[in-house]
Chains A and B, each alone.
Chain A
Amino acid sequence: MSIEKKEFRPKIVAFCCNWCSYAGADLAGSSRLGYPADVKIIRVPCSCRVNPMFILRAFEKGADGVIMCGCHPGDCHYSTGNYYARRRMTLLFSMLDYIGVENGRTRVEWVSAAEGVKFSDTMNEFVEKIYSLGENVRLGDLRCRS
């Protein structure tokens, strides 16, 4: 295995709810609104399905940023799911910040099915932020690093 300094390409995990944000991402796609390939989307039924454990796991496995997108407050397909998500993430993110995973690496954004532009803008902005923050060194499972 050759040891050479590779160009930093962040790993970014995006959790998108099936009803709004995933559809928003689809719209960004069909409108050809580009954003960096570093973002990989995981589909969940609702933002409230995102267990803080998943986000910790992502950082543990070497993610450099995690973004969660859901329906706008009040528009949740399951009426109240995004409110739960919002509260959970507020707590989780402040805890992550406390243990050294900067607030810039985590983000919650509300994206509706009609907001393709917002989805791509958000992702561009978020990826740029991760680039400026560099590689995430906290929480990582050292066994995962090659």
Chain B
Amino acid sequence: MTEAIISVDQLTKTFRGKRSRDSVTAVDAVSIAVQPGTCLAVVGESGSGKTTLARIIVGLETADTGTVKLGGKTVARRANRRTLRARAREIQMVFQDPQSSLNRRLRVQVAVDEVLRAHTPLNAKQRRARCRELFEQVGLEARHLDAIPDELSGGQRQRVAIARALAAEPSIIVLDEAVAALDVTVQAQILKLLDELRRSKGLTYLFITHDLSVVQMIADEVVVMRRGSIVERGTTAQVLGDPQHPYTQLLLECAPRPGWKPKRGVIRALREEIAS
């Protein structure tokens, strides 16, 4: 086995409240390893700690204890401007809502250009050409370069966010619920694009989601999180096909599918098993 490109060891993060009973351990001794060129899905419901884990890995949040290694190198727990800039070349993030991660008053190519200016030696003319190239790679047309976010659809905006992430030429992209806000038909298109980009560029994905049906379309491996801890991990086929933990079974039982009916009895039985 080659060395993991993302290696997280015993990561813990507690958000402290005014009183000790208000404190929440969002991530509790979590370890993961992701091989280069693969996609690991982190699945969980709200409050599972999946987003906090992602934010620690990209450096938007500071862990209390534990280590994060990217490309074999341990990253500083407390990031500063310089280390974050270096980390951004290695790892980029795409968020759920491009409407709030893109500046509504700027043409969308400016968002991509900023990244090129920060992370590449290209001059203005070269950057324009590169923007055009990146837009093409994510399935946007040259006319979209001068649009503002409000003139684009949700799917197009998410394509801009992906182009922006690609601009830094990272080896890793963290996708935090990146398709959750999209209509299902658009979701399928964006997942296909992400999958193609991963294969053609050899990218590694950390795919944060609440949605198991999406996992099947993109991930090689899956970890399931609940209340800050990983309760199950394995290949996508193992976890979706033969789940061991009752919580994973509950998630699968509750996912709508053709012919599905919500069954209160089954849900209650699984909840009791999880509690015990």
A and B associate: no
